[in-house]
Amino acid sequence: MAKMTPHFDTAALAGEGPLGLAVAAYAQGDYAKAAGLFAPLAAQGDVHAQVFLAVMHHNGDGVERDHDQSAEWFLAAARGGDAGAQYQYAVKLSVGQGVAAKFTEAAKWFRAAAEQGDMEAQAELGAIYRTGRGVEPDVDEAVKWYEKAAAQGHAWVQHALGHIHETGDGVAIDDVEAVKWYRLAADQGIAEAQKDLGTMYLDGRGVAQDYAEAAQWYGKAVAQGEIKALGGLAYLYLSGLGVAQDYVEAARLYQEAAEYDFADCQLNLGIMYLNGTGVPQDDVTAHMWLNLASSGETSAREDYQEQAAECRDFVAARMTPAQIAEAEQRARDWEDD
């Protein structure tokens, strides 16, 4: 379980006075002393002390780990108007930690925190309205709260907004708006946003078509392990668009993507083996990948299964029965791994 930390500036609160001494003890790692000092303050309604005790009971710092107590202290601080506590109590209501799961009640507390400007609460409230968990689904409300969180720099929400505008998920399709949000998320290092931005540059949607930019963003995404960017980058190397044409690198990237069962990449890899492009010409290996592609999932927008089956049958026509049997067995072995 991840260790929770108070959302206050601990250094700013440490000092003289009962609360300052309690915070100082907490900052020094003397949790038992801190808990003893926080307890009477929390009982008197001090929101800071209530939040510290909630966190300490959540972690088991100086006190017994007790999620019921943690939830109670977060609720007390939430009722006292603390936005961070409202958010944390809503999270506990969402997952049923220390309190019975109540999605409608969670939505109420997320809203209370969101209206005070809590970025994480705004993000959660947007997701709640998008999915209808505890509220009636409302795309306009979802976008409103997403935009508030995104404006504060919430990276995954920025990516979500890009996807919403690109696909027209409850809003009018707007590629320019999608690119804006994808770029903000991509600049913060969100690999999937980097991949999506690369695709927008590749297709020239919402931005002038620029293969070099596409290659740059796909490369950033691949470097972070975003497997769905492999096919796009491989295509650029295969075609020599935005990068120097490099069949070997294209084949390497398609090979890596094919291992994740992306039909479009398996198809292209199979064709490369069929023609001996960037790899040794090999009908058996070509048949294996084309056969797998004929029933695999695609990482691109189109389905490639029918095309893969046609290419598989084409290469099969020049193979011996023994070669076909070998290729089919290799495909079965690959699926079983």
Q: Per the confidence metrics, is the pTM higher than 0.75? A: yes
Residue type, 110: F
Q: Are 129 and 148 in contact (CB under 8 A)?
A: no
28: three-class secondary structure by DSSP: coil
Cα 7 from Cα 150, distance rounded (Å)? 20
Cβ atoms of 224 and 193 closer than 8 Å: no
DSSP 110: H
> DSSP string of 149-161?
HHHTT-HHHHHHH
Q: Long-range pairs for 75-82 at CB < 8 Å and ≥24 separation? A: 75/99, 76/42, 76/45, 76/50, 77/47, 77/50, 77/51, 78/109, 78/112, 80/45, 80/47, 80/50, 81/47, 81/116, 82/47, 82/50, 82/51
Collect all residues with Cβ–Cβ distance below 8 Å to 197 and sequence separation of at least 6: 179, 182, 183, 186, 217
pLDDT for position 302: 58
In a 3-state reduction of DSSP, which class is residue 262?
A: strand
* Nearest alpha carbon to residue 272 among 225, 215, 315: 315
Q: List average pLDDT for each run of 10 residues in the chain, which is 337 residues long.
A: 88 92 96 97 97 98 96 98 98 97 97 98 97 94 96 97 93 96 98 98 98 98 97 98 98 96 93 98 97 72 78 96 97 90
Sequence-distant (≥ 6) Cβ neighbours of residue 332 within 8 angstroms: none
C-alpha–C-alpha distance, residues 297 and 265, integer Å? 10
CA atoms of 307 and 187, how far apart (whole Å): 37
The residues that bridge with 297 in the sheet, in sequence order, are 262
Integer CA distances (angstroms), 228 to 9, 55, 143, 194, 242, in order: 40, 38, 26, 11, 19
Q: Quote the crossing angle between the two packed helices 47-59 and 83-95, to the nearest 10°.
A: 30
**Confidence (pLDDT) at 303:** 67
Neighbours of 67 (CB within 10 A): 16
- How far apart are alpha carbons 303 and 298 in whole angstroms? 6
Is 207 in a helix, a strand, or coil? Answer: coil
> Would you state the pLDDT for residue 305?
83
**Residue 139 backbone dihedrals phi, psi, to 5 degrees:** -65, -40
Contact by Cβ (8 Å): 121, 142 = no
Beta bridge pairs of residue 262 = 297
